[in-house]
């Protein structure tokens, strides 16, 4: 009897598990997706969302690592603040923190930037940038303040511009025109 109950339990789990993993959004926005399946297949393959059996047969000559270099926001952020010394850069944690930076003409004043990545998508709310200023009268008398002024807006704008350029370049490189294998006229 217990074998039968265990078998029923395992069968129920095996039937529910595949549907449970499909959580999230159901379907797609009909305004953005063509009702024609051939058009959807073409669009998905051109955007790199599908797979082709010919690609599976290709053998790579080594391992390809795609981590920080494939994230446009990460690359754009590092390129934008490359003049500053980096104290911490943690890709998996999604944060870049610079060390205190001082220009030669402003002795006693330093700046520190912390960039948190809230999403990998290139959009205006993807970054949380904090800018800190340190003003020192003497080596022991320093005041640190946080600012959300013009520099934060300019930094965000610069990072997003570069990230958009990187994304556009990557999309052009990854674009593969779709050819219908059933259509031999092409």
pLDDT, tens digit, 9 for 90 and up, residues 62-117: 444 344 556 899 999 999 999 999 999 998 888 999 999 988 777 788 999 999 99
| Residues 36, 74: Cα–Cα separation, whole Å | 37
Query: What is Dmax (Cα atoms) for the chain?
Result: 85
Residue 145 lies inside a defined structural domain of this protein: yes
**CATH code of the domain in which 160 resides:** 3.30.530
Q: Tell me, yes or no, whether 144 lies in a domain.
A: yes
How many domains, in total, are found in the chain? 1
Structural domain contains residue 21: no
* 14-30 residue pLDDT tens: 777 666 555 545 556 66
96 assigned to some structural domain: yes
Band (pLDDT 50/70/90 cuts) for residue 138 is confident
Residue-range definition of the domain harbouring residue 162: 71-172
Q: What is the DSSP string of 49-68?
A: -S--HHHHHPPPSS----SG
DSSP-derived secondary structure letter, 101 = B
- Whether residue 104 contacts residue 114, with contact meaning beta carbons closer than 8 Å, is answered with no
In 3D, which of 41, 33, 35, 57 has the Cα closest to residue 181?
41
Q: Which 3 state secondary structure label does DSSP give 168?
A: helix
Helix (H) or strand (E) holding 70: none
Q: Is 141 domain-assigned? A: yes
The arithmetic mean of pLDDT across residues 19-45, rounded, is 66
Residue 112 lies in a domain: yes
């Amino acid at each position: 009897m217990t074998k039968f109950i265990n078998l029923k339990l395992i069968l129920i789990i095996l039937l529910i598990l595949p549907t449970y993993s499909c959580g999230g959004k159901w379907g797609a926005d009909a305004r953005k997706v063509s009702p024609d399946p051939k058009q959807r297949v073409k669009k998905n393959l051109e955007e790199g969302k599908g797979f082709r059996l010919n690609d599976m047969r290709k053998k790579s000559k080594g391992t390809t690592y795609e981590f920080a270099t494939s994230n446009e926001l990460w690359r754009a952020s590092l390129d934008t603040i490359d003049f500053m010394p980096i104290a911490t850069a943690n890709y998996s944690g999604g944060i870049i923190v610079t060390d205190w930076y001082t220009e030669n003409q402003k002795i006693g004043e330093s700046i520190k930037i912390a960039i948190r990545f809230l999403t990998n998508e290139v959009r205006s709310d993807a970054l949380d940038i904090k800018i800190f200023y340190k003003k020192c009268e003497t080596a022991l008398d320093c005041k640190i303040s946080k600012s959300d002024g013009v520099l934060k807006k300019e930094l965000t704008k610069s990072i997003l511009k570069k990230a958009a350029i990187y994304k556009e370049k990557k999309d052009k490189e990854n674009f593969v025109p779709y050819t219908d294998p059933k259509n031999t006229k092409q």
